[in-house]
Amino acid sequence: MTAGRKNLVDTDEQRTSFLGGAHNIIRAAEALQPDVTADDDTVLTSLCRFDFYVSLVSIDQHGPSISSYYPNFARYLGRRTPPAALAVITDPVLRHQLFPGADHHLAEALRDIDQYARTQSFHFDGWNGYDERVYEWITRHLGDTGTKN
């Protein structure tokens, strides 16, 4: 959002995708991709995962209101982002850095992000949910309310 205000992303890119605009900036600047080629798919995947982590941090700091985050990652292929959620529930260091709250709060945040991402990905055939292990973890901490639809 700030990039758009500073004219780092042109108007067409802003309308189509915030992450797509960021990806185009990275592709255009060699200094931002010294260890990969300009069209390396891992750059967009990393942006999607970073965006997911930003959603978690925003919920932790500001609550679950959809005004505190937006799942930009949702429009991209479903395989890109789910490993980020699995990492949060399996890596205690990452978990503590991103979402130090109680397990049930993290489970609620993961559930809310999933539900919001599903509504936003509808027209793009992008987000199709977490790895089954993440849903099992959510259900273990929330009961039946954590199951996917």
Query: For the segment 18-72, what is each residue's pLDDT rounded down to a tens digit?
Result: 666 665 666 666 666 667 666 667 888 888 999 999 999 999 999 888 788 999 8
Assess whether 35 and 45 both reside in one domain.
no
Residue-number span of the structural domain to which 73 is assigned:
41-146
Assess whether 16 and 47 both reside in one domain.
no
Distances in Å between the Cα of 126 and the Cα atoms of 3, 43, 123, 137 are: 23, 17, 8, 23
- For residues 87 and 94, is the Cβ–Cβ distance under 8 A? yes
Assess whether 19 and 89 both reside in one domain.
no
- For residues 62 and 112, is the Cβ–Cβ distance under 8 A? no
Assess whether 126 and 67 both reside in one domain.
yes
- In this prediction, residue 124 carries a pLDDT of 79
pTM of the model: 0.78
Domain tally, the chain: 2
Assess whether 35 and 54 both reside in one domain.
no
pLDDT, the chain, mean:
81
Assess whether 99 and 33 both reside in one domain.
no
Assess whether 23 and 96 both reside in one domain.
no
Assess whether 33 and 56 both reside in one domain.
no
Assess whether 86 and 30 both reside in one domain.
no
Assess whether 11 and 46 both reside in one domain.
no
Amino acid at 32: L
Assess whether 52 and 22 both reside in one domain.
no
Assess whether 94 and 141 both reside in one domain.
yes
